[in-house]
Amino acid sequence: MWMQVLAAAGFEPLGAAFPGRWKESIGDANPEGFFESRFRDGVYHATNPLPGGIYVHPDRVRDRAVKVFPFGVRRSHRAFLDRVVVTMRPCAEYVRSRARLYAMESAHRDQELGERVTPVRYVPAYLEWFFENLTLLGDLRLRRIPHRVVTYHRALRKPQAVAEVIRWLGGDADAGVAELRAERRTQVGGWTSDSEVPEYLRHLFDELHAVHDEGRPIGDGLAERLRAARTELLPAFDEARRVQRVDQRRWASDVAERVRR
Amino acid sequence: MIAVVGAGPRAAEWALATLEGGGLPVRRDLPDGLYFATNPGRDGHYLFPEELAGIVALVSPTGLDRTDPAFLERVLLVADPAPGDGWLVTVHDVLADVSMRGLPFWSVSVVEPVLEGLGPWLGQGAFPMAPSPLPTTVERLDPVPAAIHAALATRGDLDDELTEALVARADAARK
């Protein structure tokens, strides 16, 4: 949503709406476009220069908007981070969204291959949500990168919050706000009864989202519980990432084998 | 930060000693450059660009390639031509990086140290030292490395022909 808003506000996106064959495979998950590029993993020495050898100079992209994932922001050279707009969804919605996206990807691939390939064992989405948000917010504070946080819900509920961010960026607030369309929401609702997330973590994640949704500071009590949860969940997160890396290689090998047949 | 990159065995330490002797603040603890894996450091302290303004830091060629341009005020390449083409690989990589990223660049040689103009470029006014050149192997160099060295020592341009020769020698040395 933010990429469409920023584009309308006068910041040309870096990255295509539908890279590769995303329109056919997962286009339904985001009909207006994803606007993702290699820079989603950060703008730094491993992604810039581009594969053709072209270097994207920071001075030439000051008025461009680029979508970067939370870990990518941490990797990004500060020379490129003039300002950061942070958006956040409730963890429960993120979990649903990931499940839907992965299912669409998998179904499309199976359809193309004409047979089923065992899907990748991705990092559990709730762990991803927690560590991505914690890392992002911590990094922006540590490096004192100018930023604003507007949750997805707040943006839809209070367009004025979006307008303020666009003005802070120096863009056309009216044009940007006109792009806000609530009907784009594909995932709504709270935790499902069969969620794998323990109840105390659901409360914690909901609270982390709520303070940002309401524009409140993170108090000492919440900060302490977040630190404790980080310590508790980090081994599981690291192990899940290791499993995902291994399984992605297995998956790529499985697909390649079927393509060769 | 003024990143000093040495091409050749004695280059980096010669340059740091020379610049330190000239009164410039020097750091030797940032060889891997400044990017997400090195900054913040293990103690959690994040170095800001303004903390390193005007400071001379020894950086490896790989470290330079990885360093956030927000920290790179200037890059100084120091050449110590040696037998073999290993030093040319560093020269190639540094020149490729600074030209691609448009970084302010200067070069000197440890065997023909021409320091005129270096002090003002570093923001230090007239440079107070005239260091003795180190023993040289330049006369034993092939014409191409000798010409590249001469260009670096005098801050002359590498023309297209010399640039192509540098790329070819560096590629061959890498293999």
Contact B68 A78 (CB under 8 A): yes
B2 to each of A99, B52, B94, B124, B161, how far by Cα in Å? 48, 9, 14, 12, 30
**In the structure, what pLDDT confidence band is assigned to residue A117 with cuts at 50, 70 and 90?**
confident
Q: What is the mean pLDDT of residues B128-146?
A: 74
Give the count of beta carbons closer than 10 Å to the beta carbon of residue B121. 15
CB contacts of B40 in chain A (<8 Å) are 142
Q: B54: alpha, beta or left, given left = phi > 0 and alpha = psi -120 to 50?
A: left
Closest CA to B99 of B11, B31, B163, B168: B163
Dump pLDDT digits (tens) for A54-79. 999 999 999 999 999 999 999 999 99
**Minimum distance, in Å, between the CA of residue B66 and any CA atom of chain A:** 5
Domain spans of chain B?
A: 2-174
CB A184 within 8 A of CB A32: yes
Please provide the distance, in angstroms rounded to a whole number, between the alpha carbons at the two ends of chain B.
33
Q: What is the pLDDT of residue B28?
A: 94
CA distances in angstroms from A122 to A98, A126, A128, listed in the order given: 10, 11, 10
Q: B96 and chain A: CB distance < 8 Å anywhere?
A: no
Considering only CA atoms, which of A177, A203, A179, A200 is closest in space to residue A190?
A203
* A49 closest CB neighbour out of B35, B36, B100: B100
Per-residue model confidence (pLDDT) at position B29: 95
Res A12 pLDDT > 90: yes
Is any Cβ of chain B less than 8 angstroms from the Cβ of A55? yes
C-alpha to C-alpha distance for A257 and B86, rounded to whole angstroms: 42
**Measuring CA to CA, which residue among A113, A118, A119, A112 is closest to residue A24?**
A112
d(CA B7, CA B14): 11
| Domain locations in chain A as residue ranges | 1-87+150-185, 89-124+192-261
Nearest to A142 among B46, B65, B66 (CB): B46
CB atoms within 10 A of CB A73: 23
Distance (Å, whole) CA B50 – CA B44: 18
- The one-letter code for the residue type at A115 is E
B interface test, pick of A75, A77, A144 with most B CB neighbours within 10 Å: A77
A205-228 tens-digit pLDDT = 999 999 999 999 999 999 999 999
Q: Which residues of B37-62 are buried (b: 16+ CB within 10 A; e: fewer)?
A: ebbeeeeeeebebeebeebbbbbbbe
